[in-house]
Structure 1
Amino acid sequence: MFESRGEKAFGAAITIILILMSIVALVPLLSVISTSFSSKSAVDMNLVTIWPKQFTVASWGHMIDRPDLWKSFFLTLGSTVIGTVLALLMTALLAYPLSKTEFRLGPVIMVGVVIAMIFKAPIVPYFLTVRGIGLYNNPLVLIIPHILNPFNLIIMRTFFKQFPKDLEEAAFLEGSGYFRMLFQFVLPLSKAVLATLALFYGVVLWNQFQHPLLFLQNPDWFPLQIKIRQFITDDNVIMAGPVTIGDQNFNERTLRATTVIFAIIPIVLVYPFLQKYFVKGAMLGSVKG
């Protein structure tokens, strides 16, 4: 397709802007990575920029040997996986009937969903409600409050509304009920939106900070983000751990950089597998209301 000179100039300008924005976003990350692999003397003298100085893995060795870090990691990993699966299940079970015009209560429920999306619950009543149902100092608070998100529900409902009615009618003629229709026909054909919402839910569950900060007091139940907060704010906590034989070629700054990178690695590793579904699922869920 022929492009005019103005369109080419506009495309080039957008490309340059995106490259500059990528560099701005990438430089701080590279700086943190470089710090985690640099010696303590290089960091103390502020020699590290975007490339490690006096390369060493001492910080990584110290942090990987810490049982408290791994405990928080596996707690966060378990809550993320279980929470994402439950969230997708609950979202699908509610979105499918809401996508049907014959479900008379659908419009009323959707009004409530939109209100819940626009108006967030005040923090004090929310805290009292969550504590009242027994989730205070309970690790289930990392999962249950996140298993249904109004925005994600609207995306999945809109996606389901685009399914051909002929396919569903043919399945119903063969004796399929709504549950069988959902799990055997609809969901297997919904990989794009499921992968998109899995990423949405997974990122929220993995990075959650406010809920554990408000509701968890027992250090044994601290997820990874709260553990990282401890490392950043308390030098004694981050320097604790197994005794290293010989010279300890790390300090508080290198250890903090290591924990930050340690926390984002799983999301970075998972995203490429979901990327091909991400844009497609998000766009399909935004075509119709």
Structure 2
Amino acid sequence: MFESRGEKAFVTAITVILILLSIIALIPLLSVISISFSSKSAVDMNLVTIWPKQFTLDSWGHMIDRPDLWKSFFLTLGSTVIGTVLALLMTALLAYPLSKVEFRWGGVIMVGVVIAMIFKAPIVPYFLTVRGIGLYNNPLVLVVPHILNPFNLIIMRSFFKQFSKELEEAAFLEGCGYFRMLFQFVLPLSKAVLATLALFYGVVLWNQFQHPLFFLQNPDWFPLQIKIRQFITDDNVIMAGAASQADLNYNERTLRAATVIFAIVPIIMVYPFLQKYFVKGAMIGSVKG
């Protein structure tokens, strides 16, 4: 399609601006990565910018050998995977009937969903409620409060509204019930929205900080983000197990940088595989009403 000179200039300007913003956003990340691979002396003298100085893997070697870090990592990984699967299941089971006009109470329930999305529960009543159902100092608190999100429910409901009524009616005439229709026909054709919401839920579960901070007191149940907080705020914790020699090639700053990168790498690795579904699912779920 032919573009005018003004349109080409606009696209070029937007492209340049986005590239500059991307570079600005990457600089802090590159700085942390560089510090994690730099020597203690280079970091102490503030020689590290966006490229490692006196490259070394000593910081990574120390952190990777720590069993408490791996325990928190696998706890977070398990809660993220299990929580995402349960969240997608619960969201689909509620969104599918809400997408049907014939569902009598759908309008009332949707009003409640919108209210829950707009008005968040006050912290104190929320804390007392979660503690009252037995989730205080319980690792299930990493999963249960996150298995249904009103915003994600609305996206999936809107997505389900696009399905052909003729296809569903034909399936019902063949003896297909609602559950079979959902699991054998609807969900297999909903990869876009499922991938999008899996990313939404997964990021929240992986990065959760407030829930474990409020509800978990046992260090054995600390997820990765709380463990990172310990490393950042307590030098004794992050240097635990380190040799006492004065010629160590790492310090608190390099170890913290390595830990931060260690925590974000899994999400960065997963995102490219879901990106092709992400925009499609989000657009369809938000535009279709």
Q: TM-score, normalised by structure 1?
A: 0.98
1:252 aligns with 2:217: no
For 2:181, the equivalent position in structure 1 comes to 181
**How far has the Cα of 1:112 moved from its partner?**
0.3
1:147 aligns with 2:159: no
- Cα deviation 1:47-102 (Å, max 9, x = unaligned): 00000000000000000000000000000000000000000000000000000000
Q: Classify the secondary structure of the residue corresponding to 2:286.
A: coil
For 2:57, the equivalent position in structure 1 comes to 57
**How far has the Cα of 1:288 moved from its partner?**
2.3
For 2:16, the equivalent position in structure 1 comes to 16
Q: What is the identity, as a one-letter code, of the residue corresponding to 2:261? A: I
Q: Is the 8 A contact 1:66 1:242 kept in 2?
A: no
Q: What is the identity, as a one-letter code, of the residue corresponding to 1:96? A: Y
Quickly say closer, same or farther: Cα 1:269–1:245, change in 2 above 3 A: farther
**How far has the Cα of 1:41 moved from its partner?**
0.1
Query: After the TM superposition, which residues 28-67 of structure 1 pair with which residues of structure 2 at under 5 Å, given as runs?
Result: 28-67=28-67
Alignment identity in percent? 89
1:121 aligns with 2:121: yes
For 1:195, the equivalent position in structure 2 comes to 195
For 1:265, the equivalent position in structure 2 comes to 265
Q: Is the 8 A contact 1:97 1:106 kept in 2?
A: yes
For 2:70, the equivalent position in structure 1 comes to 70
For 2:111, the equivalent position in structure 1 comes to 111
Distance across 1 between alignment mates of 2:247 and 2:185: 61
**How far has the Cα of 1:286 moved from its partner?**
1.1
Q: CA RMSD in A?
A: 1.1
Distance across 2 between alignment mates of 1:211 and 1:131: 11
Q: Is the 8 A contact 1:76 1:206 kept in 2?
A: yes
Gap regions ≥5 residues in structure 2 = none
For 2:136, the equivalent position in structure 1 comes to 136
Distance across 2 between alignment mates of 1:246 and 1:189: 61
Distance across 1 between alignment mates of 2:272 and 2:160: 25
**How far has the Cα of 1:107 moved from its partner?**
0.4
Distance across 2 between alignment mates of 1:192 and 1:80: 20
**How far has the Cα of 1:6 moved from its partner?**
1.1
Q: TM-score, normalised by structure 2?
A: 0.98
**How far has the Cα of 1:287 moved from its partner?**
1.5
Query: After the TM superposition, which residues 148-163 of structure 1 pair with which residues of structure 2 at under 5 Å, given as runs?
Result: 148-163=148-163
For 1:236, the equivalent position in structure 2 comes to 236
1:276 aligns with 2:276: yes
Q: Is the 8 A contact 1:195 1:274 kept in 2?
A: yes
